[in-house]
Amino acid sequence: MACAASALRRLCDPASEVSAHYLIDVSGGVCQLVAEEARAWHAGQGEWAGLDDINSRSIGIELDNRGSEPFSEPQMRALEALLRAIMERWDIPPDGVIGHSDMAPGRKQDPGLRFDWARLARQGLAGFAGGPRYDGAVSESAFVDRARARGFTAPCDPETLLATTRLRFAPWRSGPLVAADFDLHHGIETAGVESD
């Protein structure tokens, strides 16, 4: 949407058949639209860690951002505070915090290339804040197995899966599958710094 006000109108319009629990605007303002214990219609069809019907199992947070610009500092701080509170209230582990693109590869792209997942991971607010490095052979089937083990279980072709995991863990990387693509976590020392 062009701005938070238009997103709010759409999220509150029954004809749009879309909603979310929260909307955070660029200034850091948080608007609760649906009670956390109620179902919202933010995710659509998808799957994460072998579970479908994500709308019934999640709390949806929409961020006012077109995907082409960085997320503002006030917005990120508001998101971090909201995530901490929700994770504590509902006992959600860091790897239970996902983006729409994680659960609907190819169909959804948000929160997008400019979203700072590593920042959240460093604070324990997003998954895979560490883990063993992959030291096996680089193959498409091994990559698919590794990604599925990390939660990316929604049906999609290997190329889309690679693009989806890169969107989350290495948005700067392009080209064919490489060994670094197997490291599906955010390392503090490697976040955003790579020369692939």
The answer as to whether 194 is a domain residue is no
Mean pLDDT, 10 residues at a time, the chain of 196 residues? 76 81 96 95 91 94 90 98 98 94 94 94 80 84 94 97 95 94 66 32
What's the total number of domains in the chain?
A: 1
Annotated catalytic residue, options 36, 62, 159, 189: 62
Q: What is the Cα–Cα distance from 10 to 23, expressed in whole angstroms?
A: 11
Greatest C-alpha distance within the chain: 50
Q: Is residue 165 part of a domain?
A: yes
In this structure, is residue 172 part of a structural domain?
yes
- pLDDT at position 187: 53
Residue 25: Cβ-neighbour burial (10 angstroms; 0-12, 13-18, 19+):
buried
* Domain membership flag for residue 190: no
Predicted confidence at residue 13, as pLDDT, reads: 73
Spatial separation of the C-alpha atoms in residues 109 and 66, rounded to whole Å = 11
Q: What is the CATH number of the domain that holds 89?
A: 3.40.80.10
In a domain, 56, yes or no: yes
Range of the domain at 100: 4-182
User: Quick check: is 189 in a domain?
Assistant: no
The reply to whether 97 falls in a domain is yes
Name every residue whose Cβ is closer than 8 Å to that of residue 194 and which is 6 or more positions away in sequence. 170, 172, 173, 180
Residue 121 lies in a domain: yes
> Can 47 be counted among the known catalytic residues?
no
Which pLDDT belongs to residue 11?
Answer: 76
